[in-house]
A and B are shown apart, each in its own frame.
Chain A
Amino acid sequence: MSDKLDKVSAQDAVAAPATETPLVEVKGLKQYFNINTGLFKSKPLKAVDGVSFSIKKGETLGLVGESGCGKTTVGRTLLHLYKPTAGEIYYNGKKIVTKADVDAFRKKAAMVFQDPYSSLNPRMTVSDIIGEPLDIHKLYATKEERTEKILELMDHVGLNSEHASRYAHEFSGGQRQRIGIARALAINPDFIVCDEPVSALDVSIQAQVINMFDELQDKMGLSYLFIAHDLLVVRHISNRIAVMYLGKMVELADANEIYSHPLHPYSKALMSAVPVPDPKIARANQRIALGGDIPSPLNAPSGCPFRTRCPYATEQCAAEMPEFREVSGGHFVACHNLDKAN
């Protein structure tokens, strides 16, 4: 019961004044990788090409799109695991410029990865894994304090603290994901990039981990950038959802709004493709088939990135990239032909 109340109040806080400074804000973020295309020749791979969004305190922004569209790169660049090619990142309204700014941000921002198997070192014990960020950021005074913190974190994510000296490979997938989350929580972050954290888990275990993310958010006021490909899961956990295509953001809106009334031709196809767990609805669903394959980011089309597969594309779409503009309160879309498409 109290759980429900907490959740409502957390959402109210999110819907609060629009003037509130976002916790994290990204403007025109670009990440180009140099790819060797031959002897002494290279070409930029535009993994992320001008992405802007903001995340409020206590908010979850979902990030979806086909694999290779740049979701992970957005998360990693945002955390400065890669140096941004261009763009600005603000934390609590302050632009991150200097090395000291980056360090300060990293003390408050963490990442949880998809694969609980490969992202944890099998030779480390649970207490080593969770303790590592504590060591890196020197977050304890005595050895006893370190141990105490580790046990507290394990308790937080529902791991039996008696298992602190066990190795990661002794745990099931869901438990390993809990270890990964405890490790992320070790720095007492206020922002976590969750990169497909439940994709590798069975549905029943998935629900446990999703609920844990929810509870931690309510308790600690955390903000999430939540990357996943299961759209029903993303809608469940997110306040707002952003859709990416080939390095660009094509649509961003309230989670329920974008799921039930997508405006961009790509989002429309994406949402219609979601396999819904309800036979009558699933059989009646009109799926929008997309022809062709997603182009390589090494040879991205001119103008709108979606134009090669878009049923509404016009000459203008090849000539210029549509502006990412607000079409109604908080609903952003980048498309020249919204009238035709809707």
Chain B
Amino acid sequence: MSVKQISVFLENKPGALKKMTGVLAGHEIDMRALSMVETRDFGIARIIVDDPISAVNVLKEADFVSNLNSVLVVEIPDEPGGLDKLINIFADAEVNIEYMYAVSGHKSTKSACMIFRVADTKAAEARLVSKGLKILTQDDVMKI
């Protein structure tokens, strides 16, 4: 099962990110992952939160443009070669990665999470699962 990610348009200027994190904090929405990508004038913040639907609504009320999309989240052991093995599985399954980012997991399990955006989430997921990869669900992510 894929996980919901919210992509938020931000102007590339001081205070833009602060305004977004402020809105989420004000509504007690917990962020599990954050990644930023930007050009000279604007950026996109990609976030994974505990309550994506509420997050989209409160962001809209605060005049943010955002969209909800699906990503694949995979847990990897936090050790040398961990990512390499994982990327090999993607190559084997012939899944193209549009972009990816990492979140460090909890200290106790010594694992990290990789978040992948792919073109056809459902098809990619099926192919990866057939190669023996475990894809995290929304509930799994909440437990991280």
Q: Is B one of A's binding partners?
A: no
B interface residues with partner A (beta carbon < 8 Å): none
